[in-house]
Chain A
Amino acid sequence: MNGSRARFLPPLRFMRVKGDRIMTDTLHSSVLSSARPKPGSQVETEVLNRRDIFEKTQAAEIAVLTPTDPGGLSHDLRHALAARIAALHGEAEQAARYAAGVTDAALAPLASVGTTADDAQVQAMLTFTDAVSTNPREIVAEDVTALQSAGVSDADIVRLAELNAFLAYQLRLIAGLRLLVEAAE
């Protein structure tokens, strides 16, 4: 279980004592596959103390990238936008991971920062995504109205905001954890 169609990175494997036995356990988490805390380190211990948080974070990746009901945002478009958001955050590995989940060649270019779309709705979503990712403080009501004017439904506006918002969380969790892991080396 990888969580979305995004490229698979190896899960975190760790040792766990159960009764008088030592066993290997596995935690599927895109965040941990990227930050890779060292086996037996204090960082790994604290991560495992919060195992539920990392599992719930992975469940959120599934809900945002490959929901059962994608509404007007196809799984392909979601992966392209996620890759673009990761690139805007300077997280190249995550950008590549999400871009690998785009199967529609027509949408693949949108993963790159600065590209535009011919479709007015998709273009409105790109403009909105770039602004929400990089400078959310400047967003005003007119930015939401622009989506509505382009024909994006209110439900899809919420889906798009959640996609941006979740990525803002996941990418910072990766970046912060990476700092902790590097400092421990």
Chain B
Amino acid sequence: MSDEIIRRFTRNVPEWRPRVTPVKLAEATQEQLDALQVTPSNTKVSDYVLVLAHDVETLKVRSPLFNAIMYGKGGLSRAERELGALAASIVNHCIYCAAVHADRHAQLSKDKTVTDKLFAMGEQADLGPRDRAILDFGMRLARTPQQATAQELAKLREAGLDEGEILDLILSTALFSWANRLMHILGDPVRKSG
């Protein structure tokens, strides 16, 4: 039985195989258990979170921040925050992140065509003007050094995004510039075979 590493974008969420040894739950400190939110009734923790538990102080503050940015009330729609996450995940080639958030975008928007086109044609995908403006801005912001300019910002406004929506887009793309550097760096997306 061997695992196949996934190298192409897909909505079919793969498994994640760590490149470093995850914290063993049986050996976890109380601080780690608290951050992992392990309770007698909830003992199922992913390898990804067990890897991040090596830096428990950061894990503890990152989870609430993640939830506030992706699920906070008002501003950009949840589906469009997923597009912001996807923009970074495509630039950074985080196959796992892209799969999870493309799947979520398809569910929230009840539309698979946007992510189908995105995965088939990449940055050249033929999309509606609002999605196009969001992805162009997000992909430029995700590069190092970041390349978003007043021009892409003006396109967002033309497409109808207001100040708060644009701020949410900046936040979700920036957040995935963080998440991609954990998920894509510390492990491989795999499919179990055999």
Contacts and interface: CB of A to CB of B under 8 A. Distances in A.
A binds B: yes
B54 interface: yes
Given A134-B144, A136-B184, A176-B170, A165 B20 contact: no
Contacts of A136: 92-94, 180-181, 184-185
B3 interface: no
B150 A169 contact: no
A177 B58 contact: no
Contact of A50 (B72, B154, B175, B186): B72
Interface stretch (A14-22, A57-65, A102-110, A119-127): A57-65
B121 interface: no
B148 A63 contact: no
B interface bracket (residues with beta carbon within 8 Å of A): 35 or more
Interface string A153-184: 01101110110111011111101110110111
A172 B173 contact: yes
Interface stretch (B36-44, B63-71, B111-119, B125-133): B63-71
Contacts of B180: 136, 165
Give the top 10 A-B pairs by smallest Cβ distance, nearest first: A176-B170, A165-B181, A90-B145, A137-B93, A169-B178, A158-B54, A154-B20, A172-B174, A155-B54, A56-B65
Interface of A: 42-43, 45-47, 49-50, 52-53, 56-57, 59-60, 62-64, 67-69, 71, 88-91, 132-137, 139, 141, 143-145, 148, 154-155, 157-159, 161-162, 164-166, 168-173, 175-177, 179-180, 182-184
